[in-house]
Amino acid sequence: MTSGLRKSINLVLLSGLVVASHALADTMTTNGSFNVPVTQSCPTSFFDFSLMTDARQCQQFDDSLPASLVYFTKRSPEQVITFYQNTYPQWVVTPPVNHRTMLTAADDSVRIVVSPDSLGTQVDVLIIQQP
């Protein structure tokens, strides 16, 4: 596969992940009562991928690979990017597109998208294969 084709495929996957996460980010389920949301604690990791310690509003989209998870943190996008650069120094960071920054594992097994949110940052995690 040529690098141009690979970049095009990555851009399409990234765009789809961002659109899906923004469409689903504000959804909430209830437990039968209209006023009581079903809350679940965010895991500390997702398929051995570390999440920020203050991760909340986690939405997991699949239990098997490829799998994705979206979460929110009160930290700034720069703080999130720094955290992941320190945790995974071999990862590639792409320049922001529409204020969204993508970090990719060297073997392309994991991709994350860091997006500013009005009160912090949304983090989209895509696990393609076990890192």
Among 24-33, 50-59, 98-107, the minimum mean pLDDT is found in: 24-33
- Specify the pLDDT at position 60: 87
Instruction: Answer for the pair 55, 72: CB distance below 8 angstroms, yes or no.
Output: yes
CB neighbours of residue 14 within 10 Å: 19
Q: Compare 41 and 73 and report the one with higher pLDDT.
A: 73
The greatest distance separating any two alpha carbons of the chain, rounded to the nearest whole angstrom, comes to 53
Region 101-130 average pLDDT? 94
Q: Above 60 in pLDDT, residue 12?
A: no
Q: Above 50 in pLDDT, residue 108?
A: yes
Distance CA 42, CA 57 (A): 7
Cα atoms found within 13 Å of the Cα of residue 89, Cβ hemisphere only:
1
Question: If pLDDT is split at 50, 70 and 90, which confidence band does 34 have?
Answer: low
- Name the residue type at position 18: V
- Specify the pLDDT at position 76: 97
Instruction: Answer for the pair 91, 103: CB distance below 8 angstroms, yes or no.
Output: yes
Is the pTM above the cut of 0.85? no
Instruction: Answer for the pair 97, 89: CB distance below 8 angstroms, yes or no.
Output: no
Predicted confidence (pLDDT) per residue in 36-62, tens digit: 444 457 888 888 899 999 999 998 888
Region 104-117 average pLDDT? 95
